[in-house]
Each structure stands twice: as C-alpha cells, then as structure tokens.
Chains A and B, each alone.
Chain A
Amino acid sequence: MENNLKKVDIIFEDSDKCAPLKVLEKTLKRTADDIILDLIDSGLKGRGGAGFPTGLKWKFTRNETSDVKYVICNADEGEPGTFKDREILDRVPEKIFTGMAICGYVVGAREGYIYLRGEYNFLLKSLLKKLNDFNAALKKLNVDFQIYFKSGSGAYVCGEESALFESMEGKRGEPRNKPPYPTVAGYNSKPTVINNVETLVYTTMICHMGPEKFKALGTSDSRGSKVFSVSGDTPIPGIYELELGMPLHDFVNEFGDGDTKAVQVGGASGHCVPRKKFNDTIIGFEGIPTGGSMMIFNSSRSMYNVLHDYLEFFAEESCGQCTPCRVGCQQLLKGIEAVKRGERPPAYLDDLKKLTGTMKIAAKCGLGQSVGNPFNSIIDNFREEIIY
C-alpha cells in the first residue's frame, strides 16, 4: 500500500558518526545565546507530550539569576504504551548525557539529574558505568558539570515535572501549584530545566547537525521527527523514529494488521481515534500530539474494556490531592460500570462528559486534566460499546 510515512534515523544514529563527546567539545566553543538561537530556530518542542519549545525553556532558565540551577532529565517514562525512552537509555545514553551537559553550560547549572523510572532499575548497572566514564570525561574537559541518577518509586504522577521535584526532594510525589514554573523554581526551588530523555538527545543532535536538517523534517507546527512506541494489534510492534505531521491513515497502513478499529494516540491520557477519522488525523502538534505511544486496536477489542482499564489506571494513579482528579476518576470508572450494569441510564454518560469538562480546567495537574481525552474520545466514538 502506498503511503508517505518517512522513517528517520537521528536518535539512534551510529555513535561512530556522531561521537557525543566530540559534539560536546564542539558545542562548548559556541556561546550560550547561539545555542539557544539554534534550538529556537530548529522548532524543537518537548518530546514528553506537552510540547513546550525547548529553546525557550532553556532561555527562561538561563535568564534567571541564581547561584544554583539544575538540569533534570525526566526518565520516568510511565505513560501506558510508551517504551521509547527505555530504548534510548539503553542504546544511546551518552547522547542524553551530552544534551544535559550542553544544557548545563547554556543555563549555568553545575548539576544534572536523571530521574529514572523505578521499573527501569535493571538498566542502572550499565548506565552507571557509562555515566561514570562520561562524568570523568567532563572533568577531563574541565567542564564544571556532573550528572547523577535518582530513582523513582513507581508512581505515574511523578512523571509530572513538579511531582518529580517533590519526589526527588524526598517528599510525597504530588504536583505543585503553578506558578512558579520550573524555570523559576523547580528542584530545591531553584531554576531548573526539566526535559524528556528524547528531547535531550535531539538537542545533542541539533548541535551536531545544525537546525536546518532538523527543521527540514516535519511540518511548520511540528518540526523534526519523533520516536514512536508502537504496540497493540500490529504485526511489527516496536520503536520507530518517524517524521512528524503524518496522517494517521499512513501510520495504520504501515503498522496495522488490516483490521484496525482504532488507535489510541498518546497513551492512556491521549485520544482514541476511530477508523473513520484516520484520514483526517494528523500526528503532531497541529493535530493529536503524542509522547510517542501508539496503541493499535483491531475489531476483536472491546472499547469498554479499554476505557475501563484506563480509568482503573487513573483512579489508582491519581496522587489524590485534588478533588477533581481524585474523586472525578473514581466517578468516571464507577459511572461506566453503573451504565454497563444498567444501574444508570445511558444519558448518565453525558453527565460524566460534563464532569470531564470540569476536570480538564479545574484539576491541579496534567493527569486530572487529561483523563477526559480518552474518556470523551471513546464515549463519543464507541458509545454503543459502553452501554451494551
């Protein structure tokens, strides 16, 4: 079948061609402002899902006056269906370290931390060895920057940046009130850049190859490429780096099993796209953005079960501090159960949709705010499966 899907090889590009330390040495000869300009010019947006322009984030942090600043790599990859950071950590960790060191140079930080998802501790042994070598190399280059690991303990919400800081500080992992934002007061209330694993690798690669090559890929809203975690009903699950801005239709042609009913774009907190909308759906910031998770469902799947699983997950993983999320998630879960059992009329689903409207604007963090994404997109497109 014909499609325009473009596979890319930047993230995992052979380290022989792109030696991270060489990139670092080369980059540190440039001014911080130049590096920021390149990043802004490249159009790189955060690859964790929220899509904040990386160059701006670095610039804001650089502009803060503080003796102590931090660079943090968010490696708490917890979104269901996402597993690309694991692969990056395993295969090209030096590119992550390099991105952090460049960031430290740009914003004026001397310490970097990798907040590693608790379940990825099996990677730690080999990562630590590589990290020690890298830290030693930094010292040799007289770069005043060292990187350390901190291990997460398994709470999904700790991938939310401010909950991550709380967790790093030894507290309960609960999101903070914003403002202040991390660029002003992050870890230990100091100005902090927090970037996703993949974002940091792209910063390294943009420094290596220049912004032009990067922004030649993708669309005006979604520059560059992105690593996708493809799972579900596909004959070829795995990690793929693809150009952003593709129609979902092309994606399904490449990865589907010929019987694709829906794709959940962006993990449990993302949107469910039914077959009839594949043609009109763009994967990118102008359409449906994703942290990388692409879950493919074929006609054998019950969308009630899919939604039920997601809601069970959110009801359990809500940190519990704010009302809309803690109680809202439970109500959504118990609500669809009640409708399924006939204890509430089908119209109760509309009450629940209104509730997601409140959660979206009144919950304290992205977790509660985004539960409505899967809920509404599944209810709207597969209503009969929920009721009957």
Chain B
Amino acid sequence: MSKYLVNLKINNMPVAVEEGTTILEAAKRLNFRIPTLCNHPDLTVAGNCRVCVVEVKGARLLAASCATPVSEGMEVFTNSEKVRKARKHIVELLLSEHNADCTKCFKNGHCELQELASEYRIGDHVFLDLVTPESMIQDISSPSIVKDDSKCIRCQRCVRTCAELQGVSALAVVNKGDHQKISTFLNKPLHEVVCTNCGQCINRCPTGALTERNYIEEVWNAIYDPSKFVVVQTAPATRIALGEDLGIPVGERVTGKMVSALKKLGFNKVLDTDFTADLTIMEEGTELLTRLKKALVDKDEKTVLPMMTSCSPGWIKFQEHMYSDMLDNLSTCKSPQQMFGAVAKTYYADKINIKAQDMIVVSIMPCVAKKFECERPEMRDSGYQDVDYVLTTRELAMMIKQAGIDFHKLDEDHYDSILGESSGAAVIFGATGGVMEAALRTAYEIVTGREVPFTNLNIQPVRGMEGIKDATIKIKNVKPEWSFLEGVDLHVAIAHGLANARQLMEKVRRGEAVYHFIEVMGCPGGCLGGGGQPIPTSPEIRKKRAEAIYSEDEDMPIRKSHENPEVLEIYKEFLGEPLSHKSHDLLHTHYKPRKRY
C-alpha cells in the first residue's frame, strides 16, 4: 500500500513525511534532535519516560514525540518554553529516583541520563531523594550481569528487549506506583531464573542499572603476577567493534591494532579464538556428517536431526530452560572459547613448557554469557578451569584507556603462533549465518572434494539480518565414501536473537520444517550484536559490523577451516582426527535441563 505524504511544520519549518511517521522521526529529518530515554531503534514504542515530549499547537497535552504519528497541518514545537520546563522537570524527577553517585558507577561517562542531566545543566536537586537503601543492594548472583535497582529509571528497555528480541522475559515489571520495579520471577536472583545471560538488556540500558560483571581488576592482577603466564584469546566479533569504544567509526576493522594493544597491556601471548573456531568447524562438520550417516543410513533411532550449533552460550542456556527435550539436537562441540581454554591448558601448555596451573586464560568476547559459560562445571576438562576470565569488548576498551594507550596511533601487529592462525571461515562466526557458512565450506568439500558452488565461497543465502533464514544445498557427485549423500538436498536454517530461535524451535517441534542443520546465535545479528559489544547498538550499526566481518573474511589468505595449517598440525600432533577419543575428552561437552522460570 502506498503511503500518503503528510505536511507539517516543526519549529516553523515545513516538512513532508510519510503517513505513520512519528514526530520524533520527522524532527530528525529536519535535524532537530529530540532527547529520548525509553525509545530504542530495536524495540517497540513505549512512550513512558516522557523525555521526548513536544508541544503541538492547539493540543491540551504535550505529545510524546516517539509515540505520536504526524498529522496533516500539525504544528510542532520541540523546544518551546513549555517543553523545556516539562523536560527539565522530567529529568529532575528521574534523577530524584536514581542513585546519582556517578563516580562509583561502571557506566560513568556512558550514561544517557547523565548526558541529559549535563545537557540541561541540572544543578541543585530540586526534589527529594527517593532512592531507598534496599534498592542499593545489587544483584551480583549472576557471573555475567549485575543488576542495580537504585540506578533504574523504569524505561523498560530491558523488559522489552528480554520479551521482544529474546522471547525470554526473565525481566518484567512488578508492582505499581511507588513500588514499581523491574524484577524477576518471585524476585529471585538473576542466576536462579530463566535469564540466559545474553546481556542484550545491558546493551540497551540507558543507565548503570544493568551492567556486565566486570573482571578488569582480576585480569590486571593476573598480568602483574610474575608467577602467572597469561594468554589472551580474542573472539571473531571483537576485532570489528572494539574501535567503536575508542573513537573509531563503526564498521572499521581493528584486528592488528587490537593485537598490538593486547601485547602492550602485558599479556604473555596474544592468541585467537578464530583458531578454535576453525577447530570447531572440523569437529562440528564431522559430527554433522556422522549424524547424517547414522540417521539416514544406519537408521539409528538415538541420533536426532536437525543438529543444532552450540557456540552461543546464551542460546545453550535458553535451550536448557525452554526446550530441554531437544538437548540431544545440540552439537556436543564446546564453543570456540571453551575449546581454546581446553587446548591451551593441555596441548599448548605442553608445547611452550608452562604448567597448566600457572597459566591464566583470558578471553576477549563480544558476549557476557561467556562469563557464565567459563564457570560451568563442565568446562574444566584440562583439569583446571579452562578459561579463567572473560572480558567484554567494552572492558578491553576500558583497559586500553586505563593503560594510556593511544589506540589510533598503534601499529598493526600479528597474533602469536601457535593458536593464532585462522581462516576467513572463522572470522565469519561473528555474524549470523557465519557458522553455517563456515561449516558448509568445509563439509561440502569433505563430501564432494570440490569447493562449495558459490561465487568466491560467499554463501549468500545464509547471510543477512532476516530473523530466520533457510537454505537448501544440493549435494552432487560425492566421493565414494559419502555415496549415501548423493543427490541429497541439505536443508539448513539459521536464527539469531532468541525470539527468532523460539519461533524456529516451535516450527521444528511441530514438524512443519525438516532441517538437517540449524545455526542459532543468541543475540540479534549474531556475536557482532553480542551483549558485550560497544553501546549503542541498532540495526544500522549491526549491518556495518557485518560488512566489516565479511570483508575481513575476503581479505584472509585462507578461507576454509580445514586449510588452517595450525589446525592440521594439532590433529597430527595431538588430537588425531576429528571426534577422536581425545577430541571427545577436551572439545565436547553435554547439557543439562533447567527449570522454566
């Protein structure tokens, strides 16, 4: 349906916008910024903070510009005396229920309320302080997320994130009026409820009410401890986003600078999760082919399809809570982070002659669920906690600032070897559809001896930001040992964001769609939109990050996991072959059902 143009005036300037456009959007076209707090480009409109109110000529009430569509002949004033007074009052009210001890806050300098308070020069607090002592008790039960109600301004971005993007609703509004707050089922601590630790709420919280549990001091202490050998691994999606927190434009790749900075921070070795992403493909690709054979040829009833990826710890915990009857569908492969930890404290420690107990493995992740994952009791196959500390991309940026490193001026450096080599297939793990694409590049070639039939290896049908994607790959002219796959249509599906994952799971459960292989990433856009990535996030920002990821892939000399020489070497020297006994001991895991509240 074509949309009408609506003519209106904003601050006396005429503008014509499509019917249905909000006043906020229309004002943007004229370069009038209207401040917002509860509004977020990823979420439905709430219209509850009221910071964005504007005056509409002839109207008794101010209109929330985020929630009010334009109408013909409307005359809007975004900065009239009435508007300014009301807006200032609203910011003052928010500050009165907010623990404004800013210097103690992890979000100090990154807080939207602080910015607004500064913009409106809120000096003396007019109103009474409403922060209660109870609200100042932080919920630190989760290894990933810290919740501080005294900072909460009830904008409900987190509630909408958890419901709309993630379909989890671990956070919800409870009580009303002066007792209204954002809480969990029966006010239980975060780690006791369905929270998947995805951290998407953190990415959208305008204040310091939801932040990651930070381990910066612990990591500094490890670096300063001469008895410890500290190795650091960096996830694929960190290298295309870290710059955003250090004054570099969105979508600019900073791989070399990041490596350089990590070396300057004092890590003993700077290694790459991309290496174990390639390793994951070897294990998971082989697991898929083995499962297909067991299911299709051997008719083994215990082997279930579709197989589902297991790289995303938010998705894993979601599945353990919500679809615990489908845990056998999950690949047994550990995530690349955990494979790295297990290999580092065994194979690598041996190679460089360091005792595992003296090694500290630090991860730089776009994710806060990884903080939970590394503490899972299943993740101690080296005999120690395989990964000791997980820092988000944001925490790394803070460390770089603390160390006084001028990131802009850094030279590019290379990852240390071994455990530093990777392929383009590994870096695309950071985008939705990337694991699928990487797996197909390898599995197709194992089965047919030929490269995947897509231009330049770019499997376009599995790329892009659509919530649920599916694709079919025809397998033809296979090698003799894979004859059972001759002519088979391999059906794959990809979901990102847990609300989409839920939809896909429901389809699978109802038997509406038959797939062989499903990739799910817990966060919108995949890891590049992870809960540990620089703030803010939006569809445009994630699109730019994805473009950066795919260009990084194209620039890599090696594009396929099975061609990574260090991966070939670890199989030759240590693991034997994919799914070997040793692989199973170190690189695979199991899952457990969890409660549904």
Interface residues of A (CB under 8 A from B): 155, 157, 172, 177, 179, 314-324, 326-331, 334-335, 338, 351, 354-355, 357-358, 361-364, 369
Q: Which residues of B contact A357 (CB under 8 A)?
A: 85
With A157-B176, A319-B176, A361-B61 as given contacts, are A327 and B94 in contact (CB-CB < 8 Å)?
Answer: yes
B128 engages A317 (CB within 8 Å): no
B90 engages A323 (CB within 8 Å): yes
Q: Which residues of B contact A328 (CB under 8 A)?
A: 93
A318 engages B176 (CB within 8 Å): yes
Knowing that A331-B96, A334-B130, A361-B53 touch, tell me 15 more A-B residue pairs with CB under 8 angstroms: A177-B47, A318-B176, A321-B156, A321-B173, A323-B48, A323-B90, A323-B94, A324-B93, A328-B93, A329-B177, A334-B128, A351-B126, A357-B85, A362-B53, A362-B89
B62 engages A362 (CB within 8 Å): yes
B128 engages A338 (CB within 8 Å): yes
| Interface membership of B180, Cβ < 8 A | yes
Q: Which residues of B contact A362 (CB under 8 A)?
A: 50, 53, 61-62, 86, 89-90
A329 engages B178 (CB within 8 Å): yes
Q: Which residues of A contact B178 (CB under 8 A)?
A: 315-316, 318, 320, 326, 329-330
Say how far B415's CB is from chain A's closest CB, in angstroms.
49
A317 CA to B566 CA, complexed, in Å: 65
Q: Which residues of A contact B175 (CB under 8 A)?
A: 320
Q: Which residues of B contact A327 (CB under 8 A)?
A: 93-94, 96-97, 127, 130
A177 engages B176 (CB within 8 Å): no
Q: Which residues of A contact B130 (CB under 8 A)?
A: 327, 330-331, 334
Q: Which residue of B lies closest to A348 (CB)?
A: B126
Say how far B24's CB is from chain A's closest CB, in angstroms.
12
- Could you give 30 example pairs across A and B, Cβ below 8 Å? A172-B173, A177-B47, A179-B68, A318-B176, A318-B177, A319-B176, A319-B180, A320-B176, A322-B48, A323-B48, A323-B49, A326-B178, A326-B180, A327-B94, A327-B127, A329-B177, A334-B130, A335-B128, A354-B89, A355-B127, A357-B85, A358-B86, A361-B60, A361-B82, A361-B86, A362-B53, A362-B89, A362-B90, A364-B47, A369-B61
Chain B 168-191: CB-based contact to A (< 8 A → 1; otherwise 0): 000001011111100000000000
| Interface membership of B365, Cβ < 8 A | no
Q: Which residues of A contact B126 (CB under 8 A)?
A: 351
Near A by CB (< 8 A), chain B positions 502-541 give none
A364 CA to B48 CA, complexed, in Å: 7
Q: Which 10 pairs, one residue from A and one from B, show the smallest C-beta to C-beta distance? A: A320-B180, A177-B67, A327-B93, A358-B89, A318-B177, A321-B48, A177-B47, A358-B86, A316-B177, A362-B86
Say how far B179's CB is from chain A's closest CB, in angstroms.
8
A281 CA to B323 CA, complexed, in Å: 65
| Contact pick for B177, options A317, A361, A369, CB 8 Å | A317
A323 engages B50 (CB within 8 Å): yes
A323 CA to B48 CA, complexed, in Å: 7
A323 CA to B64 CA, complexed, in Å: 12
Do most interface residues of chain A lie in helix, strand or loop, or is the interface mixed? helix
Near A by CB (< 8 A), chain B positions 127-153 give 127-128, 130, 153
**What count of chain B residues pass the 8 Å CB interface test?**
38
Q: Which residue of B lies closest to A368 (CB)?
A: B50
B177 engages A315 (CB within 8 Å): yes
A330 CA to B132 CA, complexed, in Å: 13
Q: Which residue of A lies closest to B60 (CB)?
A: A361
Say how far B593's CB is from chain A's closest CB, in angstroms.
28
A355 engages B89 (CB within 8 Å): yes
Q: Which residues of B contact A329 (CB under 8 A)?
A: 177-178
A323 engages B173 (CB within 8 Å): no
| Interface membership of B562, Cβ < 8 A | no
Q: Which residues of B contact A321 (CB under 8 A)?
A: 46, 48, 154, 156, 173, 180
Q: Which residues of A contact B180 (CB under 8 A)?
A: 318-321, 326
| Interface membership of B45, Cβ < 8 A | yes
| Interface membership of B467, Cβ < 8 A | no
Near A by CB (< 8 A), chain B positions 53-89 give 53, 60-62, 64, 67-69, 82, 85-86, 89
Say how far A50's CB is from chain B's closest CB, in angstroms.
12
A358 CA to B83 CA, complexed, in Å: 9
B90 engages A358 (CB within 8 Å): yes
Q: Which residue of A lies closest to B173 (CB)?
A: A172
A320 CA to B154 CA, complexed, in Å: 8
Q: Which residues of B contact A369 (CB under 8 A)?
A: 61
B50 engages A363 (CB within 8 Å): yes
Q: Which residues of B contact A177 (CB under 8 A)?
A: 45, 47, 64, 67-68
A364 CA to B94 CA, complexed, in Å: 15
